[in-house]
Amino acid sequence: MRPFLLIPVLAGGLLLASCATMSQEACLQGDWAGVGFKDGEAGRPQSRLDEHAKACSKAGVVPDARPYFAARDQGLKLYCTPQRGFQEGRLGNAYAGVCPERVAGRFLAAYADGQLVHAAVSRLSQAESDRDSADNRAEKRDREASGVEDELKNPALNAEQKHELRDRLNRLRSERRAAVEDGRRADWAKRDAEREVDDLEHRFRPTYGGW
């Protein structure tokens, strides 16, 4: 199994505010405790409140930081668990460095385990895609070669036309052989990835359950 490096993504680059984080209606409602709890449970960084402030500025609303951060701390208690860390890593989600030091170690260890699964499943998916692509290319070249073979049966062809068609036929057959070889390599990669996924599931099931 190849190692997969744990690379926590810190708060500054986690989320780009390409759209408003809150609607004007939510801003006017002013449930900052509810918003803070959801942000904590989702593992969002403290800077999320700055994004809310920007979203609510058009409505003339300033967030109330005290209930927001108090509720966010409660939400983080649900987020900063080994089970959630494993889930976040397995899904390929970024980590914003939000967990308190006393629980961050266990979260990050589980997050790294989840990243191993994410990497293995990604390799399996890529191998399956590569195999499908190779099969499609081989089938297409096969059809094209058959069409050229039919053209070569035309008795009206002159020598130059026959030569061009034979050259094209040779190229198509060569490309088909290459596609078949690509398919074999994808099959080997798929089998390796399947074994890795199975091994990881057997290894982590007692701790995190299945996925």
* Of 110, 94, 92, 114, residue with least CA distance to 42: 94
Cα separation, 137 vs 131, whole angstroms: 10
Cα separation, 211 vs 209, whole angstroms: 7
DSSP 106-117: HHHHHHHHHHHH
pLDDT tens digits, the chain, 211 residues: what are they?
A: 333 344 444 333 333 334 689 999 999 998 999 999 999 999 999 999 999 999 999 889 999 999 999 999 999 999 999 999 999 999 999 999 999 999 999 999 999 999 999 999 999 999 999 999 999 999 999 999 999 999 999 999 999 999 999 999 999 999 999 999 999 999 999 999 999 999 999 999 999 987 7
Domain layout of the chain by residue ranges: 11-118, 120-206
What separation in angstroms does the CA of 180 have from each of 33, 189, 190, 191? Answer: 59, 14, 15, 17
Phi and psi at 182, nearest 5°, equal -60, -40
